[in-house]
Structure 1
Amino acid sequence: MALNFHQLHIFYTVAEKGSFSAAAQSLHMTQPAVTMQVQSLEDYFGTKLLLRSTKRIELTESGRALMPFAQRSIELIRETDSSMSKFTKQLRGRLQLGASLTIGEYILPRLLGPFGQEYPQISISMKVMNTAQIMEDILNHQLNFGLIEAPVNHPDMHMEAVMSDELYLIVPAGHPLAEAETVQIADVLEYPFVLREQGSGTRLVMEEELRSRDIDPASLKIVMELGSTGAVKSAVEAGLGVSFVSASSVKHEVALGLISVVPIADVRFKRQFYSIYLKSALLPISAVTFLTFLRERDLLQWL
């Protein structure tokens, strides 16, 4: 019997999850099949790799020695897929992903067209929802991966920055700041704000940048908190306040003269968009190809 990557991947997942049943669920396999593959790996090395108990799986000394090699093999497969995805122009399959609100509503629609032209045989299914829902669907194996607007901490999730973005001040047409070439943040803080809800990626980026400038976000004159960028834009357009949003989300309103984007001289609200997926998962080549597309292309030509 020859050593194979599939068995190393299964062994690593069992060790990470702490049980055969959890690993089987994560790998979409039956528990007996997972057990059989680990036993085959133990037979190959001639040593026990895992100690099985009623509570939790534990690694033996030989199992602990094998873990870094199993992890490196998974990382090498991921790197291989990423490198080779540049050459796979005839890919077929289905790309399933989740995207948080700003990304799903305003960023990805402009990128999926160019991606689809390069890979016309890949069909795309995208769910737009908040980060918590995306993580839940990934953990329940309803989605391969997600794209989110703020970093998250979860022991089972791999996270990687794949796109850059920046928030800008928007004001309604006719606002005192609408025609200014640049403004100071101190001047902006004098006006009422319409903001995304607490916990949204956009709100977190804004608040973190203000705190880094020794400005307490609680000092803002917040007149309204809304659950979507579209609602924020409508409120700003109606003259209810000013806000910070991704420039990509207001192209239409700016072109129509309904909203103005005003640069702030002394503050930049830069952020990253992140991909997240299970550490134990190997993404399908369609997903790897899409993430490579996001990382390596000049996306501003479409945004």
Structure 2
Amino acid sequence: MEILDHLDKLKIFIAVAQRGSISAASQELALTQPAITRAIQTLENAAGYPLFTRNRSGMQLTQGGQILFETAGRVLKEVSDATLRGAHVRTEMAGTFTIGTYESLAEYLWPDFLLKVQKDYPLINLSIRTDSQRSHLEELNNGTLDLLVDAEPRHRQNLAMWPLYTDRFSFYATKAATELNPETAKNLTLLYVRNAFDEDNVTIESHLKSAGYQFQQEYTFDSFTTVKRMAEKGLGIAVLPQRLADKEGKLKLIKAKGFKEGFGHHGIFATVSPHRENDRRIKTVVNLLRKQLS
């Protein structure tokens, strides 16, 4: 008995590895916890070594489990993709695609893009997943994701990256105001993502401090989408990527002393694993993204 005899259980193995617990995988897959436990035990018996270490904090992959994890997602994904492509052998743009991204970008890019793909390439089964950057990179490496689209990725060894477009940060609010400056800022509330950074790895917080800005009150969030929603409610002045802020036209650009045309170049990139770099379908999707963002 070997792993190849139990390919149907790899989906369970991947869910446990990603979620870190039997209970979380049980909820995701709508299976009982004993059923998941039996599946993992069967895979471990077939492999001949433990796939997980079990402790109070949950289930963690062993070194052997990590090797299987890096391959398992790709195997299942490619089988699903091949099945769809095999049913439509006369067209190149057929198959399953999963793209990882982040919430703020998802709001203003993906709705129009998905409509475009559905119209022009109906045989592409495209899905979008928002998650943490760490989870996305794991899924890209194990083949669960075909493509990752995110902002200012740091150097990623052994991964191919293509620039899609460059944005900048600016100040926005629901009402037009006189020019913002360090003096007037002392009486205002700021909404921003503190640790967001530009192509030079300079955070928004560092840009503001360098220009002498100190606001009366600051609210910090993990998502630009949350910042935008708070600003639309009139809760303060927001620092946002220009394209996100301009999407619906509800917020007005605030001119700020020291930041004439905005600040901090903020690049959006498409990242793919090396074995998919020359896939024509991947290149077509990336070119569609560029056109959508141009």
Superposition TM-score tier, normalisation by shorter sequence: 0.5 to 0.7
Q: Give the % identical residues.
A: 15
Q: What letter corresponds to residue 109 of structure 1 in structure 2? A: P
Residues 1:262 and 1:93: Cα distance change in structure 2 (over 3 Å): same
For the residues of structure 1 that align with 2:125 and 2:132, how far apart are their CA atoms? 23
Shift of 1:22: 5.5
For the residues of structure 1 that align with 2:70 and 2:135, how far apart are their CA atoms? 19
Shift of 1:99: 0.6
SS at match of 1:254: coil
Does structure 1 residue 236 correspond to structure 2 residue 238?
Answer: no
Does structure 1 residue 260 correspond to structure 2 residue 252?
Answer: yes
Aligned to 1:277: 272
Shift of 1:274: 0.9
For the residues of structure 1 that align with 2:173 and 2:133, how far apart are their CA atoms? 27
Aligned to 2:159: 157
For the residues of structure 2 that align with 1:281 and 1:23, how far apart are their CA atoms? 19
Residues 1:26 and 1:266: Cα distance change in structure 2 (over 3 Å): same
Aligned to 1:195: 192
Shift of 1:234: 2.8
Does structure 1 residue 293 correspond to structure 2 residue 288?
Answer: yes
Shift of 1:290: 0.7
Say whether the 8 Å CA contact 1:196–1:228 is kept in structure 2.
yes
Q: What letter corresponds to residue 109 of structure 2 in structure 1? A: I
Return 5+ residue gaps in structure 1 as ranges.
1-20, 30-87
Residues 1:99 and 1:188: Cα distance change in structure 2 (over 3 Å): farther
For the residues of structure 2 that align with 1:210 and 1:144, how far apart are their CA atoms? 35
Shift of 1:245: 1.3
Q: What letter corresponds to residue 141 of structure 2 in structure 1? A: L
Shift of 1:276: 1.6
Shift of 1:200: 7.0
Q: Pick the aligned partner of 1:215 from 211, 215, 228.
A: 211
Residues 1:207 and 1:230: Cα distance change in structure 2 (over 3 Å): closer
Return 5+ residue gaps in structure 2 as ranges.
1-65, 76-89
Aligned CA-pair RMSD: 3.8
SS at match of 1:274: strand
Does structure 1 residue 227 correspond to structure 2 residue 222?
Answer: yes
Say whether the 8 Å CA contact 2:189–2:215 is kept in structure 1.
yes
- What is the TM-score normalised by the length of structure 1? 0.56
- What is the TM-score normalised by the length of structure 2? 0.57
For the residues of structure 2 that align with 1:236 and 1:227, how far apart are their CA atoms? 15
SS at match of 1:120: coil
Residues 1:215 and 1:205: Cα distance change in structure 2 (over 3 Å): same
Q: What letter corresponds to residue 147 of structure 1 in structure 2? A: V
Say whether the 8 Å CA contact 1:165–1:271 is kept in structure 2.
yes
User: What number of residue pairs does the alignment pair up?
Assistant: 210
Shift of 1:206: 5.3
Say whether the 8 Å CA contact 1:90–1:119 is kept in structure 2.
no
